[in-house]
Structure 1
Amino acid sequence: MAKARLMVVEDEAITAEDIRSSLEGMGYDVVAVAATGEEALRIAEKLKPDLVLMDIVLKGGHSGIATAGELRRRFSVPAVYLTAYADPATLAQAKLAEPLGFLTKPFNEADLRASVEMALYKAGAEAERQELIRKLQEALDKVKVLSGLIPICASCKQVRNDKGFWQSVENYITEHSEADFTHGICPACAKKLYPEYFDQLYGKGSGGTPE
């Protein structure tokens, strides 16, 4: 099984290196460490990591929260937040980017491991759910179902479509279902249209018109 590919976004170099070392010791592939939101976005566009560990407070023009939101929106890359700020206002703002976890500094390796494992599990489950939705939508797009009342002429047997136009039953069914037609001739029509061949086709003494 391939190692999960992680990126660390942390503007404190020593802290970033400690996190990298811990993650690699757990068996993860840390593909990059970024110090700013702008750098993180450039790297994510190229490397497409499976998960980003994101410090909320970053130097530069992008906050960690804004960067996490862009990562999810542009590249579908989820994030776990790292922060020393756990006040209600910060938490409320952080939720807007839909993070998969939240680690309050300082944290130990056990907390880091648990947060990353749970985040990767959630990300995998969400990816499977989205793929299932996509497949179901494709199936629904292909399926056409006839239902409800269908106006049909009592005389010529044409059907009125949803745009108000009359058309043959064959065309209507073809447009509104996945059915295909094969053409033949029923016994009653064969007897009416080709009486001279009817007995040859169906035999004499059959006791009536075959059904």
Structure 2
Amino acid sequence: MTATILIVEDELIAAESIARSLRKQGYTVIARINSGEKALEQVAKNCPDLILMDIHLRGELDGVETAKRIREQHQTPIVYITAYSDTSTIERTKETNPSGYLVKPFKSQDVIDIVEKALQSIALGNREQ
């Protein structure tokens, strides 16, 4: 079974680039969402295997706050997408226990590498339970 992935990214070009890379590798992209509010709705409806979440989103909720709300009800792993790898941004994300970071600008192979790493750690965690 192929993993289902939700992309939460408000930059259309970046979201499409990520989706294209994932589809080429056989992953199922269930949606490309551009806001935290829409992401919450999509997770409740589809429960993806993995979420790629931009930290800085338009709207009321940024990526970290959206991840916190998702974590309240789901254990879906989250990989953050960010152009900001400064210490304060990374510290903010830690309480959501991210499965990794995809730092912009990124290459197609970077997307595949971080997704595969996150999915492998999920599989290992499931085996240990």
| TM-score bucket of the superposed structures, by smaller chain | over 0.9
Unaligned ranges ≥5, structure 1:
133-211
State the match for 1:42 in structure 2.
41
Look up the SS of the partner of 1:82 in the other structure. strand
Look up the SS of the partner of 1:14 in the other structure. helix
State the match for 2:88 in structure 1.
89
Going by fraction, where is strand more abundant, 1 or 2?
2
CA distance in 2, matches of 1:18, 1:120: 20
CA distance in 1, matches of 2:126, 2:61: 27
Is residue 2:6 matched to residue 1:7?
A: yes
CA distance in 1, matches of 2:7, 2:92: 21
Is residue 2:116 matched to residue 1:120?
A: no
C-alpha deviations, 1:35-69, integer Å up to 9, x for none? 00010010010100000000000011111011112
Look up the SS of the partner of 1:61 in the other structure. coil
State the match for 2:50 in structure 1.
51
Percent identity among equivalent residues?
Answer: 41
CA distance in 2, matches of 1:115, 1:124: 14
- The alignment's C-alpha RMSD in Å is 1.0
Ranked by relative contact order (alpha carbons within 8 Å, sequence separation 6 or more), the top structure is 2
C-alpha deviations, 1:121-167, integer Å up to 9, x for none? 112222333xx3xxxxxxxxxxxxxxxxxxxxxxxxxxxxxxxxxxx
Unaligned ranges ≥5, structure 2:
none
Structure 2 letter corresponding to 1:42: E
C-alpha deviations, 1:87-132, integer Å up to 9, x for none? 0100111111110011110011111111000101112222333xx3
CA distance in 2, matches of 1:19, 1:100: 17
Runs of 4+ in 1 over 4 A off after TM superposition: none
What TM-score does the superposition give when structure 1 sets the normalisation length? 0.59
State the match for 1:32 in structure 2.
31
CA distance in 2, matches of 1:89, 1:9: 21
CA distance in 1, matches of 2:126, 2:92: 25
Q: Is the 8 A contact 1:54 1:80 kept in 2?
A: yes
Larger radius of gyration: 1
CA distance in 2, matches of 1:110, 1:19: 10
Report matched runs for 1:192-211 at 5 Å: none
CA distance in 2, matches of 1:45, 1:128: 25
Q: Is the 8 A contact 2:17 2:108 kept in 1?
A: no
